[in-house]
Amino acid sequence: MAPIYSRIIATGSALPERVVSNTDLEKIVDTSDEWIRTRTGIRQRHIAADGETTGDLAFLAAQRALDEAGVKASELDLIVLGTTTPDIIFPSTACLVQQRLGANGCAAFDVNAACSGFMYALGIADKFIRSGQSKKVLVIGAETLTRMIDWNDRETCVLFGDGAGAVVLEASSEPGIHATCMHADGGYKELLWNPVGVSAGFKDEPNHGVRIKMAGREVFKVAVKTLDALVDETLQAAGMQASQIDWLIPHQANLRIIEATAKRLAMPMERVIVTVDQHANTSSGSVPLALDYAVRSGKVQRGQNLLLEAFGGGFTWASALLRY
């Protein structure tokens, strides 16, 4: 039987209207625009309005991707949504989005892999298509991470933003996605986590103690090392050389981490999509937001090879090498 591949046929994204600059944050915590820019590359972030949810952003991004694809919601046979900030505990945000799109009946579920959520969702969707189980899949990465930020903690509050991105995947006889890789190591859980929740219990604190905790320097070191190994593994899995990659579309957490990965691949920064300056770290939203920006700005062209990767709490890390 001829192999089946999955192809990205369209992308979409959504950002909250409200933009908060580094200078705005200087009024809240003891920080400076200069410190944030030089340590992270971030200049601004979008922050969800009161009442605006992950599902709202996911729905908008999904609708834009479906419109671009010319695919009706009723044609979808699967929705996979990466998020660590679901609207409610259940139903999943994927189910909430499915209902709003009018795709009722298809399978729909969330994936929680922290910042690697979209990359995990993409890898899973690819396997559904390759197995013949699904023909048209909506893959979303969406977050409102600023809802679980401690606005008194300058070490974390300057880093994150809200947003969503989506892709429509379709079964094809041509690649498509060449290879995906996924990994996790729960041994690192305490370096980047939000250690409250339903079963462990919430805390008797404002916002129920729901806050991101991070050991930034340690996360940085492991992220760089791990992403180096991940891009090597992904190239090997796809049987390709770094010189064949047209664009690196990395997780947008820190410009210095992105530059380190580009260096590993010997890719000039002109071939790297950078949106961290505009969006900050939108967790699962980051890679599909960057991809949609790259497509809509005309940088990424059909037929080019793209290397997508992400790293996040867990730790989790995942990648995809694909022909767009």
Binding mask 109-128 for ligand COA (x = CB under 6 A): ------x-------------
Q: 115 or 308, CB closer to ligand COA?
A: 115
Closest approach, Cβ 2 to ligand COA, in A, equals 38
Binding to ligand COA by residue 281, rule CB under 6 A?
yes
Assess whether 251 carries a catalytic annotation: yes
Residue 319 bridge partners (DSSP): 181, 309
Determine contact, residues 257/224, Cβ cutoff 8 Å: yes
What is the DSSP secondary structure assignment for residue 205, as one 8-state letter?
Answer: S
Count of residues that interact with ligand COA, criterion CB under 6 A: 20
Distances (CA, A) of 90 to 49, 60, 87, 109: 22, 20, 8, 10
Q: Which stretch binds ligand COA (CB under 6 A): 55-63, 102-110, 153-161, 178-186?
A: 153-161
> Does the annotation count 115 as an active-site position?
yes
233 binds ligand COA (CB under 6 A): no
Of 252, 285, 253, the closest CA to residue 15 belongs to: 285
DSSP H or E run through 140:
strand 136-144
Tell me whether residue 254 or residue 275 sits nearer to ligand COA (CB atom).
254
Q: Rounded to 5 degrees, what are φ and ψ at 150?
A: -90, 105
- Is 273 an interacting residue with respect to ligand COA (CB under 6 A)? no
**Catalytic: which of 95, 115, 157, 181?**
115
Give just the sign of the alpha carbon dihedral 307, 262, 144, 19. Answer: negative
Candidate residues 16, 55, 312, 314; the one interacting with ligand COA per rule CB under 6 A: 312
- Can you name the residues that pair with 45 across neighbouring β-strands? 20
| Active-site choice (46, 178, 251, 279) | 251
| Per CB under 6 A, 193 contacts ligand COA | no
Task: Let me know: does 258 contact 276? Beta carbons within 8 Å.
Answer: yes
Nearer to ligand COA, 5 or 311 (CB): 311
- Measured from the CB of residue 254, what is the shortest distance to ligand COA in angstroms? 4
The residues that touch ligand COA, with contacts defined as CB under 6 A, are 31, 35, 39-40, 115, 154-155, 158, 192, 214, 216-217, 219-220, 223, 253-254, 281, 311-312
Q: Which of the residues are catalytic?
A: 115, 251, 281
